[in-house]
Structure 1
């Protein structure tokens, strides 16, 4: 794999991770969060409506899909070589960009090379921190993914289940990692806060429409 091939793959992976996967995860979690927040006046009426079973299943499903996206975005290539792996993840992108000459090519084209280099250093450091932290949030989420979502597994010794905070903090941190990756490759700033506001407003509109369809008019 030469420099051009490695950079091309890294850019394609970055698009799928930053513009697709993380955007989707943010939107899915907004659906779950706006329904389950204690400040949501619609939750009580919807929980006791005729649609409650389906609503709760949908809310659980979007949370599970969020977990799947978060864990998949941090999968490593395993036994496959970098040239042959078909996985798309932040660790794979780091491997691609760390090949000799690849980041040098990126920096040679950058308007402010030092900014791109600093963003790439933050990207790598963040991945390293997630890998070695104890207790390891990613490991808890991956165990849950493997045992209950990707497969139906039964272990003789129970694994430590993930915490709700594992999902919220990992979503925030992986979004920041995605932003650093975009900055490292293109010098672009990603305004996640603006996107979060849009997604939350859209999710609130969803639940409002569901409530109206159930006949609830509020106080």
Structure 2
């Protein structure tokens, strides 16, 4: 089979791709954060046992599993490694793919040049952006080599239980809830580094909004159960 030629592209094409990928990754991380907040709120709710003992128990069980699965899917997606073929031709949008794009010749140089026009700091942006790039790269490297490897545990759970419904004679080690919560935090930090490097953007998360909404929901369910008694 003849070798597929490398795609034709410019440095600007790669940067445009990076900015597109960054937006999609940020959407995935924002959703993972929101679902994580909803899941935690339910599991810490003072009326959780009342909900479990109520007519809403079956729906609450689905809610709990669905919010956990959603976190796993989003986290696994943004940490997927590149597949086959040239890094520019990847159909995956993940932190490792973005790191591969940033390492392509001329890309960081152009981003550093562009950073001088982002705001009044001008040339002072260059070392800031370079430091964010290094932090992005170092964090990904640390996550890849840590033991136990939280990302691999989460991906394994996705492949076994969510994405493919595979069956194994010997079940692999499962991720712990703290692994998932921690990786959501790591993904939030990584996307903040990536946003600064490729677009000079600072991310502000609306923490607490989903928790307040979820608390209202479960307060309403628990109160309804009390009134039915």
- In the superposition, the TM-score normalised over structure 1's length comes to 0.91
Q: 1:196 aligns with which of 183, 207, 211?
A: 207
What are the Cα deviations for residues 10-48 of structure 1, in whole angstroms up to 9, with x where unaligned? 000001111x111100111111110101xx222121111
Aligned runs of 1:82-161 on 2, under 5 Å? Answer: 82-110=87-115, 111=122, 112-161=125-174
> 1:34 is matched with which residue?
41
Q: 2:10 aligns with which of 2, 18, 24?
A: 2
Q: Does the aligned pair in 2 maintain the 1:14–1:182 contact within 8 Å?
A: yes
Distance (whole Å) between structure 2 residues aligned to residue 165 and residue 50 of structure 1: 30
How far the C-alpha of 1:93 sits from its partner, in A, is 0.8
How far the C-alpha of 1:205 sits from its partner, in A, is 2.3
Q: 2:23 aligns with which of 15, 20, 24?
A: 15
How far the C-alpha of 1:77 sits from its partner, in A, is 1.7
Distance (whole Å) between structure 1 residues aligned to residue 110 and residue 225 of structure 2: 60
Distance (whole Å) between structure 1 residues aligned to residue 217 and residue 130 of structure 2: 41
SS at match of 1:15: helix
Distance (whole Å) between structure 2 residues aligned to residue 187 and residue 170 of structure 1: 24
Aligned runs of 1:56-67 on 2, under 5 Å? Answer: 56-67=61-72
Q: 1:165 aligns with which of 166, 178, 188?
A: 178
How far the C-alpha of 1:161 sits from its partner, in A, is 0.8
Q: Does the aligned pair in 1 maintain the 2:15–2:198 contact within 8 Å?
A: no
Is 1:216 aligned to 2:211, yes or no? no
SS at match of 2:87: coil
Q: Does the aligned pair in 2 maintain the 1:118–1:184 contact within 8 Å?
A: no
Q: Does the aligned pair in 1 maintain the 2:33–2:184 contact within 8 Å?
A: yes
How far the C-alpha of 1:202 sits from its partner, in A, is 2.4
Distance (whole Å) between structure 2 residues aligned to residue 119 and residue 184 of structure 1: 6
Q: Does the aligned pair in 2 maintain the 1:31–1:59 contact within 8 Å?
A: no
Distance (whole Å) between structure 2 residues aligned to residue 80 and residue 153 of structure 1: 26
> 1:51 is matched with which residue?
56
Show structure 1 runs of 5+ residues with no match: none
Distance (whole Å) between structure 1 residues aligned to residue 215 and residue 191 of structure 2: 25
Is 1:79 aligned to 2:54, yes or no? no
Aligned length: 211
- In the superposition, the TM-score normalised over structure 2's length comes to 0.87
Distance (whole Å) between structure 2 residues aligned to residue 17 and residue 31 of structure 1: 20
What are the Cα deviations for residues 191-215 of structure 1, in whole angstroms up to 9, with x where unaligned? 33xx222222222223233334x34
